[in-house]
């Protein structure tokens, strides 16, 4: 193998590893429920890997807000939302995941409650009684 081929192979390998790293999910992805003793106003926050978020409130079947998220850093997301009831309401939230795995939702730097990752299921989880 020539020296040029070795450098080419090494470059392609490193590039592949770099690109694969970019495909890992953000720690904020998944279903989030209010933490115990939190004054969180929302009953569930569902953060999809594809850049979408749905925010739910108690006593309502569908979402109250639909959002798009963008990563601010490795632990923080920014949500740009629109209300399901009034399209002129467009709140923006910051969703920060701590090292302990607890997320804080902020609006204009004011805490809106803490959330814990619901690893078992979400509003859209498969019905456990259904066959695979």
59-113 residue pLDDT tens? 999 999 999 999 999 999 999 999 999 999 999 999 999 988 899 999 999 999 9
Distance between CA atoms of residues 52 and 66, nearest Å: 7
Global pTM reads 0.73
Dihedral angle of Cα 48, 51, 26, 34, to the nearest 10 degrees: -50
| Domains in the chain: ranges and CATH | 25-117 (2.40.128.490)
Place of tokens 């749905």: 54
Contact 75, 97 (CB under 8 A): yes
């Amino acid at each position: 193998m020539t020296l040029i081929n070795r450098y080419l192979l090494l470059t392609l390998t490193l590039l592949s590893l770099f690109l694969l790293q970019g495909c890992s999910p953000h720690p904020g992805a998944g279903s989030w429920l209010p933490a115990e003793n939190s004054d969180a106003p929302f009953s569930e926050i569902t953060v999809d890997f594809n850049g979408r978020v749905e925010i739910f409130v108690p006593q309502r079947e569908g979402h109250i807000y639909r959002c798009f998220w963008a990563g601010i850093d490795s632990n923080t997301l920014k949500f740009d939302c629109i209300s399901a009831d009034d399209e002129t309401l467009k709140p923006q939230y910051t969703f920060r995941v701590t090292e302990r795995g607890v997320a804080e939702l902020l609006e204009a730097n004011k805490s809106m409650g803490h959330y814990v990752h619901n690893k078992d299921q979400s509003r859209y989880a498969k019905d456990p009684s259904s066959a695979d």
